[in-house]
Amino acid sequence: MPISFERAFSIHDDALLLRGQRTSILASNIANADTPNYKARDIDFDAMLRSASQQQDGRVVMASTHRDHIARQSNAMQPGLMYRNPLHPSLDGNSVDSHVEQAEFSENALMFQTSFSFLNSKVTGLMKALRGE
Amino acid sequence: MGLFANFNISGSAISAQSVRLNTIASNLANVETSASSEAQAYRSRQPVFQAMLGNHTRPGEVGVQMLQIVESQEAVNRRYEPGHALANEEGFVFGSNVNPVEEMANMISASRAYQNNVQVLSTSRDLLLRVLSLGS
């Protein structure tokens, strides 16, 4: 049976990458907690991971409904950014709730470490198989 | 990209919040400052932040920068003290319009925001260091 990295890592490498990108989005929200008119953003992680893991070459292709449609490829590393629905309105037009963002950030960091642990055990497993110990 | 961008994003926020702490320090230091006219009186200064939306940044990775510092337009404190060294011809001295209670609340908010960003930086650093140990 050939060793395939694609199969060995399954979704964990994509998940790790997306978790890493989500930290920057949440970090931006926390950084702009006092910026007037800034709108908090986030990605739909599950949907992004699904589309990232479906694409073998790491690219997202738009669905076409007609054979003449030109396939437009977009980079899977540019997540579908959305705006967060604020829990409270604010006078300065800022939609960041820093406590929500903090909670999301720590959850995301924990999930990053989880994905990393899975990936790490896969890598050490492969190393063991290569060494034949 | 990704985690590495956090150093720039949170770094910019830490710098912006420290400007805010600086203006609060100036405001509190000048609470008792006097002047001989309304125009010369010290007015409370507040920084205005702006999201750093450049062409080089990726969507969603947005730092923060200081746009400008605005002076409060509230009325300055005017009191009648003819014996004061800075009193004008009518005997009035103009104090600052700094509200110390407001400034203290603002300071707590700024220092919490600063701490949040430091925490984001240190978490990002920990995650990156863990990734470096992959396979060991």
In 3D, which of A105, A34, A24, A44 has the Cα closest to residue B20? Answer: A34
- B49 to A36: CB separation less than 8 angstroms, yes or no: yes
Mutation to test the B interface, candidates A18, A29, A30, most B Cβ within 10 Å: A30
- A116 to B130: CB separation less than 8 angstroms, yes or no: yes
- Residues of chain A with C-beta less than 8 angstroms from the C-beta of B21: none
Residue in B116, B117, B123 nearest the CB of A109 = B123
Tens digits of residue pLDDT in A45-62: 888 888 777 764 545 556
Global confidence as pTM: 0.82
Tens digits of residue pLDDT in B3-32: 888 999 999 999 999 999 999 999 999 999
- Residues of chain A with C-beta less than 8 angstroms from the C-beta of B70: none
SS (H, E, C) chain A: CCCCHHHHHCCHHHHHHHHHHHHHHHHHHHHCCCCCCCCCEEECHHHHHHHHHHCCCCEEECCCCCCCCCCCEEECCCCCEEECCCCCCCCCCCCCCHHHHHHHHHHHHHHHHHHHHHHHHHHHHHHHHHHCC
Amino acid letter, B27: N
Tens digits of residue pLDDT in A11-32: 888 889 899 989 999 999 999 9
- A113 to B3: CB separation less than 8 angstroms, yes or no: no
- Residues of chain A with C-beta less than 8 angstroms from the C-beta of B134: 116, 119-120, 123
CA distances from B107 to B19, B63, B87 (A): 11, 21, 32
Confidence of residue A76 (pLDDT cuts 50, 70, 90): very low
